[in-house]
Amino acid sequence: MSLKQKYSARELEGLARLAHYIWWKTPAEALRHPDRLVAQVMNIGFYEDVCRLIDLVGEKKLLDVLQHAEIGQFNERSWAYWHYRLTSIALEEIPPMPKRLYHETVPAQA
């Protein structure tokens, strides 16, 4: 799915106001990866900014970002909260966070 299909011009304009959550990039660079920006606001955003994000892109897009999260985009608390908030999953059934597989965990080939 292309960026233009996934996020409208209005949504991208609103996300630009939240680009400071990716403080190590310029706003233009942060907007090249809007899902990363959305995940960052979901993970560390102030309550008011999270409310703006929900109003801006809707819960369906937040759920899509959560379901396609990359390793390290969410801390455990945010991971649990957003699964609880956006799905009907019980807290004890929340899926594990994405994990990095190290070469040590892959069996050596003979």
pLDDT over 90 at 35, yes or no? yes
pLDDT at 101: 74
pLDDT confidence of 104, banded at 50, 70, 90?
low
pLDDT over 70 at 5, yes or no? no
Comparing 36-40, 60-64, 96-100, which segment has the lowest mean pLDDT?
96-100
Whether 3 is covered by a domain: the verdict is no
Number of domains in the chain: 1
In the structure encoding, which two tokens stand for residue 12, read together? 């991208």
How far apart CA 84 and CA 34 sit, in angstroms, is 23
- Give the structural domain span for 15: 8-91
Whether 25 is covered by a domain: the verdict is yes
Q: Could you tell me which of 100, 104, 82 has the C-alpha nearest to residue 91?
A: 82
Length of the chain: 110
Residue 94 near residue 84, CB atoms below 8 Å = yes
Q: What mean pLDDT is predicted for residues 52-69? A: 97
pLDDT at 100: 79
